[in-house]
Chain A
Amino acid sequence: MRPVSLRLLIVILALGAFLCGPALWLRGTSGQRRVRPRPVQTRPRSPATDYSKFLHTTKQHQAECLTCHNIPTSNSLEVRGYPDVADYPGHDACVSCHRRQFFRGAKPPICSVCHSKVSPRDDVRFAFRKPESARQFQVEFPHDTHQDVIAQRFTEVPNATFFVRASFSSRRRQQQTQQYNNCEICHAPRTAPPPAAAGGWIDGFTPDALTLKSMPANHGSCFNCHWKSEQPVKEDCGGCHRLPTPADQITSTDVPKRISMKFRHGREQHVMECTACHINITRSGTLRDLRPDVPISACSECHNKAPSHLEISDELAAIDKKRDFVCVYCHTSDVGKLEPPSGHYLIAERLPLKRRDIK
């Protein structure tokens, strides 16, 4: 190599080092920045993640409830009339992990988890809990324990009379007028018909307000005893709410599964103590596998009585004549078209039949 070329090469290298050195140094520092610990992403950064839906089943969302929720919320007395969780957790509960999602686009989808309007100038939120969203928790409620707690002591004072409010009254009459706590603490008569199930009512049969009893729809039925002291108390959400296992089915509708849809609880002749028909409820320690286990004998006392009330026998006789007859006196067609249980035949003092055996 000639000396001129060598000198030229040295100059080029020196110049290159001079020009590129700072750039390489900067690149190195920016690389260091890149390996700094970054906020933990709660969800895989998959484009499929729908941040407009909040799920308690997400692993990172399974911290203690009080990490996010306030109990009670400041608006609860105004909204509910009693201390309760009546509002969504504050922004802090979300931002610590989801800062990135908070500033994505003009209308970040994550805002619509709580906010009915997505706008920095509007903080209007949905009612809590979001009315149309699916329930995420299974509720644990031991009917047996609660039945025991309201138990009475038995006192029999036959034929006794005593002075009550300036009149003589029998002890028995007094007992009949006293209203003891019973299932109606939680299952009061409805004031309005139940909402239609998804897909509408079967056969277009619309139950009225007297058909079904109500179910507890909020914490009001629980906190009046379990606010504090009596376990599970308000902070122990897991005492009642449990994330479902895959095998569980969350009772998410306001209308329970009915066998005899046309039975009306509020009909005068049907008004009696709930346990007279729901015979297994007092031994039920959980809501799971709760069955509408009313014995047919509860019905047949009146509905298989000659001469005018032989509804059970008459419908069985109708099947004898036409094997695809649908029993409609108590049932909608989804149940009425099935094989009558053997108990129905027993009540009618008959041998059980299969529809397919009827010619």
Chain B
Amino acid sequence: MVTASLRKPISFCVLLLLLAPGAVSQTSVSAETPRGVIRLRVRVAQGDKARGLPRKRFFLIKGSLADHKTLVDQLERQQIVTRDCYYRNQGASTALIDWLAENDCESVYCREIELKNVEGIQAVPEFQRAVAAGEKEFGNRELARKWLTVNLAKELRSGFYKARQQRLTRFISQIENAGQTRVASVMTDRNGTAYFTDIEPGIYIISNLLPIEIGNNSSLWNCQVTIKAGDLATERPFLIGNPGNKDPRDAKNIKCVSVEKPLPVCESRVR
């Protein structure tokens, strides 16, 4: 009979070294080459209490900070266009900018546009116009509200997202062409956690490539991490934070801090 278990801590450490991260997934992953996993945790704050940074994309770039010095310099020097500034430049109404700000949204797809946003004192003029056009097209006001975005101008609909995507694509192409490797990416969940799985052992940079707006600042992470075969998601997460995160729970565990800059002033027209 095989002995039932090995519960001693020493045995567990041996296990960690022995087992491939096929262990991470319920589906068996080929264990021919041992692979690793990063459990990324992003927690930010502008005070004592930090919280997870939700729904933000992070990229995994093969190589060290020294290998990518030019890229890192480029990333840190880039001029960002803030969300509010983008929409102002597109001639968005104050009501639309306020709607986006109120809901922490980068685009109109972020959450449902409610009835109060198309009628009454909280109405957003762009939404009202889109609903009117939809009603004419579909002959149904409720459907016109639900399908509101199909009648919004493209700059207001997805322009901010697409402008950021263009810049991201350029950076990713640059990295992939130089290194002949694919850049992996994941998005953080509601708690600011994300997993990079099935990674070849080696040195990597975790970066968000485009600075993220946090309060009145922008944050850019370029964090070097070493993946060893057998690094597993069950281990302690790779915690990154911003300079404002003074949460005592995180203080000793933060592995990397973002470069923070004040958001640029936007001088543009408002309708």
Contacts and interface: CB of A to CB of B under 8 A. Distances in A.
Interface residues of A, number: 68
A350 B147 contact: no
B96 interface: no
Interface stretch (A54-62, A85-93, A178-186, A207-215): A178-186
Contacts of B105: 152-153
Nearest to A320: B4
A124 B229 CA distance: 63
Given A179-B112, A279-B194, A343-B26, A320 B2 contact: yes
Contact of B1 (A225, A294, A320): A320
Contacts of A297: 24, 233-234
Interface stretch (A27-35, A98-106, A128-136, A142-150): A142-150
A346 B19 contact: yes
A158 B47 contact: yes
Interface string B60-98: 000000000000000000000001000000000000000
Contacts of A179: 111-112
Given A154-B104, A294-B25, A279 B195 contact: yes
A308 interface: no
Nearest to B134: A227
B120 interface: no
A82 B138 contact: yes
Contacts of B104: 152-155, 175
A346 B26 contact: no
A294 B22 CA distance: 12
A123 interface: no
A349 B5 contact: yes
The A interface, classified by DSSP as helix, strand, loop or mixed, is loop
B7 interface: yes
Nearest to A159: B47
A116 B5 CA distance: 63
B199 interface: no
Nearest to B83: A153
A228 B134 CA distance: 12
Contacts, number: 218
Q: How large is the interface on B (under 10, 10 to 19, 20 to 34, 35 or more residues)?
A: 35 or more
Nearest to B184: A283
Contact of B190 (A81, A273, A291, A359): A273
Nearest to B235: A297
Interface in A212-238: 223-230
B90 to A, nearest CB: 15
B190 A276 contact: yes
A295 interface: yes
A164 B133 CA distance: 32
B147 A152 contact: no
Contact of A352 (B19, B46, B56, B193): B19
Nearest to B26: A259
B193 to A, nearest CB: 7
A351 B3 CA distance: 10
Interface stretch (B150-158, B172-180, B220-228, B249-257): B150-158
Interface in B106-165: 106-107, 109-112, 138-140, 143, 146-147, 149-150, 154, 157-158, 161, 165
Contact of B150 (A151, A229, A283): A229
B203 interface: no
Contacts of A342: 19-20, 22-23, 31
Contact of A230 (B11, B45, B100, B157): B157
A132 to B, nearest CB: 30
Please provide the 5 A-B residue pairs with the shortest distance between their CB atoms, ordered closest to farther: A343-B23, A282-B187, A279-B195, A158-B47, A275-B189
Given A273-B190, A292-B26, 18 more contacts: A81-B143, A150-B110, A155-B104, A155-B215, A156-B47, A157-B215, A181-B109, A225-B109, A226-B150, A282-B187, A283-B185, A283-B186, A291-B27, A297-B24, A341-B26, A349-B5, A349-B15, A351-B18
